Amino acid sequence: MPLYVLTTNLKTMKTIEQLMNVDKAKIIFDLFRDEIPEFLEYTQAIAEKVANDKEELLVNWNNPFLSYHQWLQLAERVASAIKKYDKNLTKSGNLFTNQLFDGYLAIFTNHCLEQYGLHRAKSPRFRQAIELFYLPVKLATPTSGQYLVLEMHGGPEYAAICTDTDGNTLVFDDRADAEAEASECQDGLIVEI
């Protein structure tokens, strides 16, 4: 039996920041082929909603970059491509990406892909891929959580949650208050909850 060796040229691999719309869509297509038919149906339904709900959308339109009429034109062009190429879009990644994610049409199809991935996809990994490729990075921000203080008494096996005089667990909304309580404890430890 012959031995097959898979080789890749890592020098030509793009970083995630270098991926264009068609590159991202092609990766999604290759990894999640089972999702593509339902994604196309979803996109078609969104395009129909844009066309059919004109009055409602016009009243609530708040996109500063595109007018409703521009959005409608994109939706109609995407719907037309889906109708024209039908099942072939589920068979060919190149056709899928070139017809739906190249140029200005990507504005509409990326939106549909994000919404489908976040709300309709069967695979949780599809959602992760959408978050990776399309959603902005959320920077860690200081939390406004709540805090408990543990009194360690010389080790984790002796830890106790700090309580008030009635035996109720102390929960602090402010970290500074939790730090003050921890400073009064033997080996005080602050735990964010």
Same domain, residue pair 182 and 100:
no
pLDDT computed for residue 142 by the predictor: 56
SS3 at position 172: strand
DSSP symbol at 154: T
Average pLDDT over every residue of 51-63: 89
pLDDT, averaged across the chain: 85
Of the candidates 133, 161, 178, which is a domain's last residue? Answer: 133
Is the pLDDT reported for residue 12 higher than 80?
no
3-state percent breakdown (helix, strand, coil) of the chain, nearest 5: 60, 10, 35
Same domain, residue pair 166 and 106:
no
Is the pLDDT reported for residue 43 higher than 50?
yes
pLDDT computed for residue 144 by the predictor: 57
What the block records as the tokens of 125 is 């990994």
pLDDT computed for residue 152 by the predictor: 74
Q: Which pLDDT band holds residue 11 (cuts at 50, 70, 90)? A: low
Sole residue written with tokens 């521009």 = 70
By percentage, how much of the chain surpasses pLDDT 70? 87
Around Cβ 138, how many Cβ atoms within 10 Å? 7
CA angle 58, 63, 69 (to 5 degrees): 50
Q: Which pLDDT band holds residue 125 (cuts at 50, 70, 90)? A: very high
Closest among 142, 182, 138, 177 to 160, alpha carbons compared:
182
Same domain, residue pair 47 and 128:
yes
Question: Rounded CA gap, 186 and 151, in Å?
Answer: 6
Could you report the per-residue pLDDT of 147-171, keeping only the tens digit for each?
Answer: 888 887 666 556 778 888 877 788 8
Same domain, residue pair 94 and 171:
no
Closest among 99, 105, 116 to 66, alpha carbons compared:
105
Closest among 134, 118, 131, 113 to 39, alpha carbons compared:
113
What is the domain extent for residue 187? Answer: 147-192
